[in-house]
Amino acid sequence: MKKILLATILVGLLSGCHTLNEREHENVMKIPQNMYNLHKADKELATNDHTLQSKAEKIEKEQASLERADKRVSSKVTTLDKDVKELKTTVSEMKESMKAQIKDQQVTIQQMSESTVKLTLQDKLVFNKRSVHITRDGRRLLNNFAKSVQNSGYPVHIRIVGHTDNLPISKFQRTEFLDNWELSADRAAAVARYLIWAGKLDPTSMHVEGRADSQPVVPNTSEKNRAQNRRVELYMEHAKNDVNMPPVMSNNPCSVAVNPCASNNPCGMTTNPCADKEPEVTPIM
């Protein structure tokens, strides 16, 4: 169409009676080039327009994605704020129920972060010496702890860590514990076992660790210091969806998950830590 128009213009100009001067002749001769330039510019504009449209669509998609991400972040912040308040309430309840033990320095509760609280129990409160049998006072305290966790809306994961002093296991007691590593792990497991079967806590929400004497809080230079190092720590941590902790449950019928309160205990445990009567255990010095 453009070529026909151009030809018509040229024919009209050339066939007319008007005689072209040099300047007019130059202008007429530039018409094809000008038409080509206009056509080229038109194509470039169309290309640029398509590119801009693509960029605009991409920006719209990115903006929509950012808005969705912002909503998710806002939702997580709201949930986190709620969880932090729930945790503070739970800690307040625990401090109230354990105020006597806290006063006697047998229990300490520390806020490690907005999402983690550490409960430290001295071994003499929870266990008989060099034993994994939980005392009456220990059972009462663990019951209060379990009740606080159950009443809380805080999604909690409980990490139970056993610690000992640096004194080696006596040769008379090695039939029960090979070394302090086994003693610390067994004590942590005993606490977990009690919280599961007597405290009714979810076994998949906790795991146990034994640290022996590898992490003392004070140097093992006196009996007073060694008493401080013999402890069990319960970490209340936020149960994130991506937490991949080893569960306490096991296929082994004599593992931590065995119910010590059952009448037909498959592991032949002679002492029931859930019984009202405190286990009669003769500590080995």
Query: What is the torsional sign of CA 195, 198, 199, 201?
Result: positive
Q: Which amino acid is at 30?
A: K
Q: What are the extents of the domains in the chain?
A: 99-285
255 C-beta neighbours (distance < 10 Å), count: 13
Beta strands in the chain (DSSP E): 107-113, 116-122, 156-163, 206-210, 231-238
Mean residue pLDDT of the chain comes to 77
7 pLDDT higher than 70 = no
Q: For residues 142 and 199, is the Cβ–Cβ distance under 8 A?
A: yes
The predicted-structure confidence for 104-160, as pLDDT tens digits, reads as follows: 889 999 988 888 999 999 999 999 877 899 999 999 999 999 999 988 877 889 999
The whole-angstrom separation of Cα 210 and Cα 65 is: 46
The whole-angstrom separation of Cα 164 and Cα 230 is: 4
Full-prediction pTM beyond 0.75? Answer: no
* 99-285: CATH topology: 60s Ribosomal Protein L30; Chain: A; (3.30.1330)
Q: State the pLDDT confidence band at 256, using cuts at 50, 70 and 90.
A: very low
- Report the C-alpha dihedral over residues 176, 179, 185, 186, rounded to 10 degrees: 10
